Amino acid sequence: MSTRRFRVPAVTLIWVGNSELERVPVFRDQKLALIEPLVDFCDFKLASYRRNGINRKGYASYVESLTYSMLSYAEYLAEKKIDWKNEQSRFNLDILLKPVRTLEQFDKPVAHWLDANDTLLQNYGEWALQRIRDNPRSRHSMRKAMATANRKLEWVYEFYCWAQMDAKYASNLMSWDDDKCNIRSSLPSLRVAQTDANVKASAKYPVRFEHTGERSRTKEGQHWATPDEIRQLAHHFRENFDSVLAERNVLLLHLGEHVGWRCESANSLTVDLFSDEAIESQFKAGKDHFLVIPPKQKNYHQFSFPVPWELAYRIQAYIKDSNTGRAAILNAAKGSEKNTGGRIFLSRRGTSLTDRSLSQLFGKAFRAIGAPKGAGYHALRRGMLDDFADRALEARHLAGASVAKDDVLQDIMDVSGHVSGNSYQAYVRSSRRRKKLSIVEKQQAEICAREAEKEQSLMEAAVLRDVIRRRGPVPKKVAS
């Protein structure tokens, strides 16, 4: 009886850990020996990430990007017969520039991983790019493939910086101006200075592919919602959903339009946040806006966000409305309040709407109105911040105030919920300080109030249509 021979891959990846937030990668070579430098590097990076606060979704993306980039590099080194363990195998890396067929004559490793240089990293980048493009799941976009290859290269640079600065494998692996170092990069000096502000990627990762559009505002897969699209979305919801679900969807739409919350933050709102007591308390305190702290925020922040008073009252009315609001969903589903988790936005079954369902709902709606690929609920946030910057700039000019960049950053961060001044720049094109209760803001409040009145009229019309549909056609009278 013949047996099938199993071939051990050049590099084996094994996941260990009891939960999704604890899992870490382990790498083994073809002899199943532990590749210690890679394992230690991943442990170091993941431990640093956890210390900064864990976001479940963010952690999963981070660990996969790190792990599969390191796996890719390990496979490349294995193909080039570069050793991880025995430093006696260290050799002149110029041999790696020769055709691949000249390497096949070597049964033992021809070089060591600490001998890496700029040429090796550049060759790895081209190798990784080709593998990405050859992948059947690739979308055949050269720019996206180059951007993915760049991310892998960045992790490799970070790996060698760690090997020099933290693990102390060698002291002369990487430098920007030291000719004795094989890898040219500013990462070590930036680590010492504890900053990378205003340092170009070309200085940190010199062999990256250029012109990939990674920092472009028109990056593929991103979209900025326009006022016309918001009107089309409202019309789409009213025409394709019953009046109860349409009201829920349109309210979520206007939350994204006027407040700019992320999907998970908008969906995490609870009934008690808009209780009579909460609204009355802030109104008596003379607040310019109704301040809300969404329970779920990025990186577990607890920022408060200003909600226009007109929108706050509309949300409160929606919660109590037994015809087309939240109460109507609960009554129709014969559900119990204890199954809602106190959430405002519910599914048809009377349970809390999941973040995924909300994301899919708006993704399909954007596609239905012909928006570009990749448009979703986050497009409302981008559009809101762009609109905010434009309105704020006009108000600043009307007040004759300064538009200094440093003054602008904090206010944009307050509105967007970002923690760094750089993070908002991908969303807006204008920068300036917000003028409290400016003329333009008052106009915006009036627009919001008119929209609320319009939505109420549309909702009443939708209810009448539902009643007519349920009753069916009027029977014809039979002549006597």
Q: Mean pLDDT over residues 99-124, rounded?
A: 69
Write down which residue in 153, 171, 204 finishes a domain. 204
Summarised one tens digit per residue, pLDDT across range 155-203 is 999 999 999 999 999 888 899 888 888 899 999 988 888 666 567 888 8
Dist CA 317 CA 325 (whole Å): 8
Three-class DSSP category at 310: helix
Inter-CA distances, 137 with 140, 143, 235, 360, Å: 9, 15, 36, 22
Q: Are residues 344 and 234 in the same domain?
A: yes
pLDDT at position 467 is 66
CATH number of the domain at 291, please: 1.10.443.10
Q: Mean pLDDT over residues 60-79, rounded?
A: 91
Identify whether 477 is part of a domain. Answer: no
Dist CA 58 CA 299 (whole Å): 8
pLDDT at position 407 is 55
CB of 435 closer than 8 Å to CB of 401: yes
Residue of 360 and 1 predicted with greater confidence: 360
Residue 351 has pLDDT above 90, yes or no: yes
pLDDT at position 94 is 47
Q: Are residues 103 and 238 in the same domain?
A: no
Residue 271 has pLDDT above 60, yes or no: yes
Summarised one tens digit per residue, pLDDT across range 390-406 is 665 565 566 676 655 55
Inter-CA distances, 412 with 264, 376, 400, 402, 415, Å: 20, 22, 19, 15, 5
Mean pLDDT of the chain: 79
For 86, the domain range is: 11-204
The predicted model scores a pTM of 0.49
Q: Are residues 191 and 247 in the same domain?
A: no
pLDDT at position 439 is 46
Residue of 411 and 371 predicted with greater confidence: 371
Identify whether 454 is part of a domain. Answer: yes
pLDDT at position 126 is 93
Identify whether 5 is part of a domain. Answer: no
Strand-pair partners of 363 = none
Q: Mean pLDDT over residues 129-140, rounded?
A: 78
Would you say how long the chain is, in residues? 480
Q: How many domains is the chain built from?
A: 2
Write down which residue in 171, 204, 237 finishes a domain. 204
Summarised one tens digit per residue, pLDDT across range 200-234 is 888 899 998 876 655 444 444 578 888 889 999 99
Residue 347 has pLDDT above 70, yes or no: yes
CA proximity to 267, closest of 344, 338, 332, 336? 344
pLDDT at position 105 is 41
Summarised one tens digit per residue, pLDDT across range 296-335 is 987 677 888 889 999 999 999 999 999 999 999 999 998 8
Residue 278 has pLDDT above 90, yes or no: yes
Q: Are residues 189 and 312 in the same domain?
A: no
Residue 412 has pLDDT above 70, yes or no: no
Name the pLDDT band for 353 (thresholds 50, 70, 90): very high
Q: Are residues 104 and 197 in the same domain?
A: yes
Percentage of residues of the chain with pLDDT beyond 70: 70
pLDDT at position 448 is 66
437-461 burial code (b ≥16 CB/10 A, e <16): ebebbeebbeebbebbeebeebbee
